[in-house]
Structure 1
Amino acid sequence: MGQTPTSDDLRNRLVDEILQDVRLTADVERAMRTVHREAFLPGIDLEEAYVDQAVSIKDNPLGGPLPLSCASVPSVVGMMLSQLEVQPGDDILEIGAGTGYNAALLAELAGDNGHVTSIDIDSDVALHARTMLDRAGYRHVHVMERDGLIGAPENAPYDRMLAAVGLWDVPAAWWGQLGNGGRLVLPLRWRGQTRSVALTRHGDTLVSEGMELCGFVPIIGQDGEKTTALNIDGTISVIHDEDQAVDAGALGNCLTTTGIEVMSGQRIGGEESFDGVWLRATATDDRVCRLQVMPDALAQELLLRPAIPGRSPILIDRDSLAYLVVRREGVDPQRPHRLGAAAYGPHAGELAQDLIGHIEAWGTARTAVPRLSITPAKSAVAAGPGHVISKPESRLRLTY
């Protein structure tokens, strides 16, 4: 019989696995090899604590599909902390206390001369984080029950701010709390997709230093993203921003017609990501949002199968729509799948060609990401290149 692995064994094994797919800074790797994740997940089996997966700590009281709070996927935690680039002595604000594990990692990164403030709107979650941090020896971390949209101005300015909850907009209150030259990392959602964006403040502008695909529990208090069902039982829906007009009746009717498929010239391998198509489309096209198709709709063959049924980019325009599909064609063993568009409605052909255009544009530089700059909504719109998306509290500009 083999020896039972210890906490150190499991922790190091997990970090080794993460390093195969995620580039961690040396300081983040050290912190993740130091902090005991199981100490923040009481009642969880030791080996389960060191699996690269999220762990819910409080269910959503409204009965939604996502938990109110959870311990994030460790590889995502490491990725975001690497984006944050914490320096010894930094003052840090974390929005979304979760289990307290993130705050412990931040405390390790900031060192003895740094300071970490972690806030959460839910009293139970804040108490859990406080209790676990105390037990693990991180009593110097400041935990507060506080609305994340307000932040913690009493400990500002911060050198680093990290949101461990999904944001649809950048709260106006945060601008007065991040110091000039400081860095903000947050899971930001626009046009139905979420990216962990690293932003550096330059005066009244936040400028991106990189972005990575991710998914997070949304912050409480922002409702600019809407879900509109396209059929009676809600098994087909679009998730869209509040500035995007969605005619549920017209789009639902178009799905009762015969759809068309148009294939692009872009092929992908079995494990190759194509989420960049979606990102590329958001930088030029205000019609792109997210299609969500439930298993029942697929089983009934209510529409042609989307690329990823739960989350595929879709273009919507009045009474017509077009969304991303992937079809296997065995002519190229290295890249056996071809990307294309399925479309419905009177303008199906036009929308399909527009989506093909986004696919082909992505295909010319598959790993390229746009430069994202964010300014307060109250500021004047500056002239310049790029595509602007306006939200109530901020303005996003995407430029390739």
Structure 2
Amino acid sequence: MSQPPSADELRNRLIDEVQQKVRLNSDVERVMRKVPRDAFLPGITLEQAYADQAVSIKDNPQGGPLPLSCASVPSVVAMMLSQLDVQPGDRILEIGAGTGYNAALLAELAGESGHVTSIDIDLDVALHARTMLDRAGYQHVHVMERDGLIGAPENAPYDRTLAAVGLWDVPTAWWDQLKEGGRLVLPLRWRGQTRSVTLTRHGDTLVSEGMELCGFVPIIGQDGEKTTALNADGTIRVIHDEGQAVDADALGDSLSKAPGIQVMSGQRIGGEESFDGVWLRATATDDRVCRLQVPPDAQELLARPAVPVRTPVLIDGDSLAYLILRREGADPQRPYQLGAAAYGSHAEKLAQDLIAHIEAWGVARTAVPRLTITPAKSDVPAGPGHVIRKQDSRITLAY
């Protein structure tokens, strides 16, 4: 009988798999092959520890759909570490301690002359990370129970800051803790989507150097993102930013009364081809963009969204238009056609506006905007582009 694969074999197999999904730099590959993920995830099998999937370590005490804390998907960890580009000797702040695994990887990347501070608002999570790091030989990592929105000024300034939780805004406290020329990588949420954004500080401006689609447990303490139910049982919901007008009664009335319309674009995609860039591009010009959630048991009430749990939607008064997919035509390479389903008195206009966003994306499908962030109270001009104002900052997007 053959022996089951060892932890080392499973770890190398996992990193080989990750390399097919993410462009790793050599240092990130090296440390991910070295640090044992299973040492930070007691109580699960080696196969589970070395699968490319998230592992919950503490459930949400309020019963929400997302865990309070989890070990991130390894391919996402690899992506964000590659974005962060840690150098030997760097001082690093990690927001969201998780299992301690990320902090161990950061410690390996920073080397003996570097320093890693990892903070978490939850005592149990911070204690778990501290315990696992000690057992794995990373006693020099500084773990603190602390509100991530405050940061850790006692160990600042930092060359690198990594947020392993979703942020709706860049906290004011983080600015003074990041060195000039320092790099911040965070899962930033705007208009219902989340992107892992790489930002470099230039004075009072953070300038993006890239962004990747991702999803993360949101940080505790930011409430700029709202959820509004459009039907009585709450199965159809819109996730939107504060300041975006969403009239639940008017929209729900339109959904229940009208059959709606469907308009198709000239853009087609293959079965594995991403179309999330439509959403991203729309946010760079249009303040009506939100996120629509429609679970399977509610899809008979309206046309099926492109991705039921997260589809871009334009909202205006009693009307909405959202992205749909339709399998049409004889093109085997790109069998799906992108379009819009719309409801309400302005259905036709909103559908055409969404089609315009789809067509604009189709011209340059892989393009990403230049994103800059300035403090809300700064005198620094926002610069050219579309401005989204938040509580602590201003985000500017420009293609």
TM over 0.5: same fold?
yes
Any idea what SS the aligned residue of 1:255 has? Answer: helix
> Partner residue of 1:86?
86
Q: Which amino acid aligns with 2:174?
A: W
> Partner residue of 1:246?
246
Deviation of 1:381 after TM superposition, in Å, equals 6.1
> Partner residue of 1:293?
294
Matched, 1:228 2:200: no
Q: Give the distance between the partners of 1:103 and 1:62, measured in 2 at CA.
A: 27
> Partner residue of 2:101?
101
Query: Which aligned pairs between 1:80-229 and structure 2 lie closer than 5 A?
Result: 80-229=80-229
> Partner residue of 2:10?
10
Deviation of 1:382 after TM superposition, in Å, equals 1.7
> Partner residue of 2:260?
259
Q: Which amino acid aligns with 1:280?
A: R
What TM-score does the superposition give when structure 2 sets the normalisation length?
0.99
Q: Give the distance between the partners of 1:226 and 1:145, measured in 2 at CA.
A: 27
Any idea what SS the aligned residue of 1:134 has? Answer: helix
> Partner residue of 1:388?
387
Q: Which amino acid aligns with 1:246?
A: V
8 A Cα contact 2:189 2:195, kept in partner: yes
Report the more deviating stretch, 105-114 or 382-391.
Answer: 382-391
What TM-score does the superposition give when structure 1 sets the normalisation length?
0.99
Deviation of 1:383 after TM superposition, in Å, equals 6.0
Deviation string, structure 1 residues 128-167 (Cα, Å, up to 9, x no partner): 0000000000000000000000000000000000000000
Q: Give the distance between the partners of 2:219 and 2:283, measured in 1 at CA.
A: 22
> Partner residue of 2:396?
397
Q: Give the distance between the partners of 1:191 and 1:57, measured in 2 at CA.
A: 29
Percent identity of equivalent pairs: 83
Q: Which amino acid aligns with 2:259?
A: T
Q: Give the distance between the partners of 1:228 and 1:62, measured in 2 at CA.
A: 19
Q: Give the distance between the partners of 1:9 and 1:110, measured in 2 at CA.
A: 25
Q: Give the distance between the partners of 1:270 and 1:356, measured in 2 at CA.
A: 20
Deviation string, structure 1 residues 266-307 (Cα, Å, up to 9, x no partner): 000000000000000000000000000012211xx1101100
Q: Which amino acid aligns with 2:15?
A: V
Q: Which amino acid aligns with 1:279?
A: L
Structure 1 residues 57 and 383: CA distance shift in structure 2, 3 A: closer
Q: Which amino acid aligns with 1:145?
A: E
Q: Give the distance between the partners of 1:201 and 1:272, measured in 2 at CA.
A: 33
Q: Give the distance between the partners of 1:246 and 1:47, measured in 2 at CA.
A: 45
Q: Which amino acid aligns with 2:13?
A: R
Deviation string, structure 1 residues 238-277 (Cα, Å, up to 9, x no partner): 0000010110000111102111000000000000000000
Deviation of 1:3 after TM superposition, in Å, equals 2.4
Q: Give the distance between the partners of 2:357 and 2:265, measured in 1 at CA.
A: 10
Deviation of 1:30 after TM superposition, in Å, equals 0.3
> Partner residue of 1:343?
342
Q: Give the distance between the partners of 1:347 and 1:48, measured in 2 at CA.
A: 49
Query: Which aligned pairs between 1:40-55 and structure 2 lie closer than 5 A?
Result: 40-55=40-55
Q: Which amino acid aligns with 1:208?
A: S
8 A Cα contact 2:246 2:317, kept in partner: yes
Q: Give the distance between the partners of 1:383 and 1:27, measured in 2 at CA.
A: 35
8 A Cα contact 2:151 2:174, kept in partner: yes
Any idea what SS the aligned residue of 2:138 has? Answer: coil
> Partner residue of 1:355?
354
Task: Give RMSD over aligned pairs.
Answer: 0.7
Q: Which amino acid aligns with 1:271?
A: E
Structure 1: 4+ residue segments shifted above 2 A:
none
Q: Give the distance between the partners of 1:233 and 1:79, measured in 2 at CA.
A: 38
8 A Cα contact 2:204 2:380, kept in partner: no
Any idea what SS the aligned residue of 2:160 has? Answer: strand
Deviation string, structure 1 residues 364-393 (Cα, Å, up to 9, x no partner): 000000000000000136264210000000
Q: Which amino acid aligns with 2:394?
A: R
Deviation string, structure 1 residues 197-244 (Cα, Å, up to 9, x no partner): 000000000000000000000000000000000000001010000010
- How many residues are paired up? 398
Any idea what SS the aligned residue of 1:196 has? Answer: strand
Q: Which amino acid aligns with 1:317?
A: D
Matched, 1:283 2:278: no
Q: Which amino acid aligns with 1:10?
A: L
